[in-house]
Structure 1
Amino acid sequence: MTKHILDHGRSKRESAVAKAVAALEKDQPKPATLALQRRRRSRDESQRSAQFLRLARARVE
C-alpha cells in the first residue's frame, strides 16, 4: 500500500528553504571581518618601510 499524498511531510520544502537561507547567510560578511575593516590601524605609517626591510632581511638570512 502506498502513502496518501497528505501523508508525506514537508521535509523537501523545508530543506530547500533552509538551503536558501544558509546560502544568503554565507554571502554576508562575518561580524569579525567587518570589525577588522572598521578598526583603526595601530601602526605608525612611518615605520612601515622599516618593517618591510626587517621582514626582507629575515627572509634572506
Structure 2
Amino acid sequence: MTSDPKIMSGQACIRVMRVPVSLALNLVANGQTPEAIIEDYPYLEPEDIQRSLQYAGQRFPHPG
C-alpha cells in the first residue's frame, strides 16, 4: 500500500496506482469475488486484493 498526500488526497492506494484500497474493500464487502474484481479491473492482481484485506485488518484490528 502507498500513501501520498498529493495522490488521491492521501488515501491508501494499491501499489503506486490511483486505486484506493477502499475501492477493493468496498467491492469485497459487497460480495464481489477477487476474480470478479480483477475481471473489472484487469490491472489489479490477486495479491492486490489480499494485501488490501490485510491492510484493513492491521488498520482496524479486532477489539477482542
TM-score under structure 1 length normalisation: 0.29
Structure number with greater CO (CA < 8 Å, separation at least 6) is 2
**Which structure's residues are more often helix, by fraction?**
1
TM-score under structure 2 length normalisation: 0.27
